[in-house]
Amino acid sequence: MNLFQKIYSKRKNGASCIGFIVGADGPADPEREKQNNAFLEYAATKIQPNARPFNEIGHYLEKKYNAKETEIDPFRFKTTKAQIILNHYSHLITYPKPLSENPTQKERKRYFECDTSWEQALNYPIEKLNLDLHQFEMKTDSNEPINVRVDFITEYIEVRNAPDDITIDLLYFTGVSKEDIDTKSFRFQAYAHHLKEIGQL
């Protein structure tokens, strides 16, 4: 599991995503969240905007990786739609009551038992959303092709079965905008944590 999966993967669907995905499942540990927020504030003072137009990513995948646009199967379309809802349209979801600052194990267990956010997102009608979702496929030596799914409306990216170098390359290609930095977007968070991991921040 690479850096971006560890920070940004969601539960149940196994997606590997970069920079556009909310944190790990369920409620965050308060102390770790505090440390992470402090790091992101620091990173925002060091990282400069360098984003490319997002609509260039399809051409980039085709040119550099010989990727071909392919149809998304219904199951994957549904799970990708759910990821996009949880990370860009969370106001459409009803969540359990937030935990206290220092929750007990019993309270955490109850939270998870009451959390139906994934099921809600899976079942949310696609026709009520404005998505422009595409899939690009790269052939590999293994039986599993690399799939990159992008939504040109929310600028969501989902990468499946890719080695770290491709995942990181796409993160660098998209870059971060001033808005990403100011709002501490998921794209910015992935970018900042990667720079920290390689000793550049």
- pLDDT-derived band at 187 (thresholds 50, 70, 90) equals confident
Q: Is the pLDDT of residue 46 over 50?
A: yes
pTM summary value: 0.78
State the average pLDDT over residues 98-111. Answer: 85
Would you kindly state where each structural domain of the chain is located, as residue ranges? 3-197
Q: What confidence score (pLDDT) does residue 7 get?
A: 40
Convert the pLDDT of each residue in 58-68 to its tens digit: 999 999 999 99
DSSP state letters, the chain? --HHHHHHPPSSS---B-SSS--SSSSPPHHHHHHHHHHHHHHHHHPPP-PPPGGGHHHHHHHHH--EEEPPPHHHHHHHHHHHHHHH-GGGS--PPPPPSS--HHHHHHHHHH--HHHHHHHS-GGGS---EEEEEE--SSSS-EEEEEETTTTEEEEES--HHHHHHHHHHH---HHHHHHT-HHHHHHHHHHHHTT--
